[in-house]
Amino acid sequence: MTATGIRTDPISDEIVHIAQLEPLAEDALTGPIWDYVAGGAGDETTLRQNRTAWSDISLAPHVLVDASELDTRTELLGHELAHPILIAPTARHIAYHPEAEAATMRGAAAANALPVFSSLGSSSIEELRAAAAAEQSPWWFQLYVQNDRAWTERIVAEATAGGASALVVTVDAPTLGARDRDRRDDLGAAAGARYPILNGMEPRPDSTPAHRRVYNPHLSASITWADLEWLIDISPVPVIPKGIVRADDARKAVDCGVGAVFVSNHGARNLDTVPATAVVLPRVVQAVDGAVPVIVDGGIRRGTDIAKALCLGADAVMVGRPAIWGLATYGARGVTHIIEILQTELEMAMALLGAPTIDDLVTDLLWR
């Protein structure tokens, strides 16, 4: 099943906040697909808190600071970025747009946003390479370590040879969470799920009745710190563990030799009632102590959220669901529009905070 409701009309000037695209995306997608996009785990407590935690942080702006020239440029793992807003990895882009990840790539490139593409995406690595080459734009690859380590090693080699300049390894998913919406909808059947990158990899057989099934056939439940060290050893590009919420795990990751630490709770889609990423971010930043960059996602919907994340010590942020809203409504144009709105709001926040550059966004600007 693929998306068919892509709009061709100009994006209205009245769409000034990214949340305005959320109901349009819901209208464009089938019920099960929308549940997959919007839903979280369990009672969706963390899903709600991911959003409200950013709003709970207050800002303390300086006044009488020359803000006539704003600069959102930043550097991340060798990339000179126009802004610190990246697109988080999400699966099954064919469910949102007929051109799948290629449309996302075009939209990201037009907004100067670095995208991360999922190993559970709808495109092959060769298709990702071609899409990135067409836009002359960098991209990163997200990996789920599989039970077949030889297969995992082959995919790492193919992705990096295809141009992926970093490897984002999901470390918080030995299985999936209690996603009630997806389990109710039988999402795999409803979406006609296909994963080209997984071709040739045999999923783990499981005859357990659906209501008693714990493990996911496409995920390795045995991944450990030794596997992270192994990936770092075999990867020619920086390895970034995604799913860090504890300070001690962040420090351990740094000691393993990671390129960056990615603070994430999987979009609140795995373990419900873990803290919001805005809450755990300061502890992780303190533990990392500047050794590597820190990236954060989870509930970021405003430019002020991005400013707060950077004031708390993050080097960059990622957005996942909002990019899907844009893709499912206006295709590549929608992805671009989402990022441009966030960048504009970030620039407004910087001017009003008296912080004309990214480096000026410091903890002192948070109300304590």
Instruction: Round the average pLDDT of the chain to a whole number and report it.
Output: 92
**Spatial distance between the Cα atoms of 172 and 169, rounded to a whole number of angstroms:** 9
pTM of the model: 0.94
Task: Give SS3 for 363.
Answer: helix
CA angle in degrees (0–180, nearest 5) for 147-151-154: 145
- Cα distance between the two ends of the chain: 49
Residue 361 banded pLDDT, cuts 50, 70, 90: very high
Residue 1 banded pLDDT, cuts 50, 70, 90: very low
Domain map (residue ranges) of the chain: 34-365
If you search the block for the tokens 């942080």, which residue do you land on?
Answer: 57
User: Would the pLDDT of 202 be above 70?
Assistant: no
Q: Under CATH, which number does the domain 34-365 receive?
A: 3.20.20.70
Q: What is the pLDDT of residue 190?
A: 45
- pLDDT per residue over 113-154, tens digit each? 999 999 999 999 999 999 999 999 999 999 999 888 888 999
Amino acid letter for position 294: V
Q: What percent of the chain has pLDDT over 70?
A: 90
Residue 189 banded pLDDT, cuts 50, 70, 90: very low
**Spatial distance between the Cα atoms of 153 and 169, rounded to a whole number of angstroms:** 13
Least confident of 20-24, 154-158, 174-178, 326-330: 174-178
Q: What is the pLDDT of residue 59?
A: 99
- pLDDT per residue over 4-63, tens digit each? 579 999 999 999 999 999 999 999 998 999 999 999 999 999 999 999 999 999 999 999
Span 292-308, mean pLDDT?
Answer: 99
Instruction: Tell me the catalytic residues.
Output: 266
Task: Give SS3 for 242.
Answer: strand
Q: What is the pLDDT of residue 216?
A: 58
What size, in residues, is the chain? 368
- pLDDT per residue over 238-250, tens digit each? 999 999 999 999 9
Q: How far is CA 352 from CA 13, 63, 295, 308, in A?
A: 23, 8, 24, 13
User: Would the pLDDT of 176 be above 80?
Assistant: no
User: Would the pLDDT of 334 be above 60?
Assistant: yes
Q: What is the pLDDT of residue 187?
A: 58
